[in-house]
Structure 1
């Protein structure tokens, strides 16, 4: 490495403060420390608002772990041309670039969530979609649609609203459904943050969970079990995702063979917001 400062790895991610990112960071850092690497962090939020020189690069780190929506395809291609070690989290590499990726079974997890709702008699199942540019969000919506189709339940566009992986955005979406009088007996949220916003809005409107409207999230971040009622959700092995990203990057930096795709399983965690008998 330039400057003779070895054993530094960079993590580029969208924003600080999300509970999801805290768990992911723990998984990455634990493995890196075990292998003798220090971790440098950079939030790309400011980079997107005002493009400038990237502080984490080939001059001050041995390799980078890059979260979805954190670097442009052009910047990833530049690193790839330099043969600089990169691992992507929750996104595929740009076409033609052989960059390893670590993610989870998003579509399968979404189908499991919707099947759970249908098995409990729910038919008017709304979906709070995630960020439009995020691959996880895309696969979760595909899973939602496919499971409805498998059970011969017609897809209704009015039951899909933008939740944006955000409690505040989800609150506005659910308020609109209630205002419009759209019949909903269950909500599948693309992440636990939007599930939290949905539950808050439903309860403020006098709706009981799950008696009037059931709610399922995705991720199983730490506070999901402490919601009122505790949230049924699809557990993503967040720390394991981080650990596997670190493992793949360490192999790359050592010149070892790596997997082009690491796909980790998801599991249904049943709590009181739906399906706990």
Structure 2
């Protein structure tokens, strides 16, 4: 039941009272014709009972929480989401906004549409949403547009559709600089561990790596390129596959600090020392990159800045401002620490199997 009195019902409360999802209520409010007559009648009855009329007439349902915006992430594990959320929250505070952080879960115990993340943020009355490593479907984007909720995507997994604003980094340049650094150290067999090959930023990093190798006149045999999932477990697995090659690499460019830390574990188990026996470069510059031993040379993604720029861009969209560009791209930088050194000659470098036997 919806309580009467001074408090006005939210869309979520109306949906609950009518026994439907928030998106169905939104369709009725926007005059959509893809709602059954019986359902429309039931929703209209609840709306009329609480003084709510269609768009263009006075509204008694609680206005969206104009001071609240959402950050929807693919997950909360690790430092990546914390860094992005920190930057976004700081910018939101300056703008007088509050940030609600949630995970883009698309199914509940009964896997019904009411558990969709879009329903949840619309039911909360958000003023705008930033998506981090989340790929919204065309249907989800349409529902946000219908509800007049602006959206900004951080690190889109694929090319955003027309009209969707995105914030990212110079992934190609970062990968090119990391690979060039290893080449300048005398390495020629450089293994690459990147993410799922269909992801936009993984493609850019592979391209940057290949371009640097080609510019140096170095071939990139296919066995030196491995795909992981940006977690430590896949880093362990893919680094193991690389060092067990008949001719293993002398250096590794691992496109995620989490995967690089997993790679460190595999190298230690194999008796290989970083950087004495093999050099390693990561990507992200998470706090963990400074904590491992030796500290990890890595490509810095300005994650906090990405979060703050995404929020400021969202505010401009909320104000109805025109944006000059559909994408903001922040520069990466190579942070040199202690995990790389000039190449060790083959006869000085222990093989993984022989080194592993010492443990």
Query: Are residues 1:122 and 2:122 paired?
Result: no
Instruction: Please tell me whether the aligned partners of residues 28 and 243 of structure 1 are also in contact (alpha carbons under 8 angstroms).
Output: yes
Pick from 257, 265, 273: which aligns with 2:322?
257
| Structure 1 pair 121–29 and aligned structure 2 pair: CA distance change class (3 A) | same
Match of residue 334, structure 2, among 260, 268, 271: 268
Q: Which runs of 5+ in 2 are unaligned?
A: 1-9, 11-60, 343-359
d(CA) in 2 for partners of 1:48 and 1:273? 44
Partner in structure 1 of residue 66 of structure 2: 6
Aligned counterparts, 1:149-160, within 5 A: 149-160=214-225
- In 1, are the aligned partners of 2:276 and 2:341 still within 8 Å (CA)? no
Aligned length: 275
CA distance in 2, matches of 1:156, 1:58: 52
Shift of 1:82: 4.7
C-alpha displacement of 1:154: 0.9
Moved more, 143-152 or 106-115: 143-152
Question: 1:19 Cα deviation (Å)?
Answer: 0.7
Contact 1:86 1:249 in 2 (8 A): yes
Task: Kindly state the Cα deviation for residue 99 of structure 1 after the two structures are TM-superposed.
Answer: 1.6
User: Structure 2: how far apart are the matches of 1:145 and 1:93?
Assistant: 21
The C-alpha deviation readout for 1:222-257, integer Å capped at 9, x for no partner, is: 110111100000011110000000000011111122
- 1:75-90 pair list within 5 angstroms: 75-80=140-145, 82-90=147-155
CA-based RMSD: 2.1
- 1:142 correspondence with 2:225: no
CA pair 51-179 structure 1, distance change in 2 beyond 3 A: farther
**C-alpha distance in 2, partners of 1:51/1:196?**
38
Report SS of the residue matched to 2:253.
Answer: strand
1:1-277 equivalences in 2 (<5 Å): 3-4=62-63, 5-45=65-105, 47=107, 50=111, 52=113, 53-54=116-117, 55-57=120-122, 60-80=125-145, 82-91=147-156, 94-95=160-161, 97-258=162-323, 259-275=325-341
> Contact 1:3–1:59 (CA<8 Å) still a contact in 2?
no
Q: Is the 8 A contact 1:93 1:99 kept in 2?
A: no
Q: Label 1:80 to 1:6 Cα distance change in 2 as closer, same or farther (>3 A).
A: closer
Structure 1 residue 38, shift from structure 2 partner? 0.9
Q: Deviations over 1:103-138 (max 9, x none)?
A: 000000000000000000000000101133432212
Q: Secondary structure at the match of 1:56?
A: helix
- Point out which structure has higher relative CO (alpha carbons under 8 A, 6+ apart): 1
Q: Report the CA distance shift for 1:93/1:163 in structure 2 as closer, same or farther (over 3 A).
A: closer
Stretch deviating more after TM superposition (174-183 or 184-193):
174-183
d(CA) in 1 for partners of 2:258, 2:112 = 28
Shift of the alpha carbon at 1:45?
4.3
Q: Please, which runs of 5 or more residues in structure 1 have no aligned partner?
A: none
Segment of structure 1 superposing worse, 170-179 or 150-159: 170-179
CA distance in 1, matches of 2:178, 2:108: 33
TM-score, structure 2 as length reference: 0.72
Quick check: which has more Rg, 1 or 2? 2
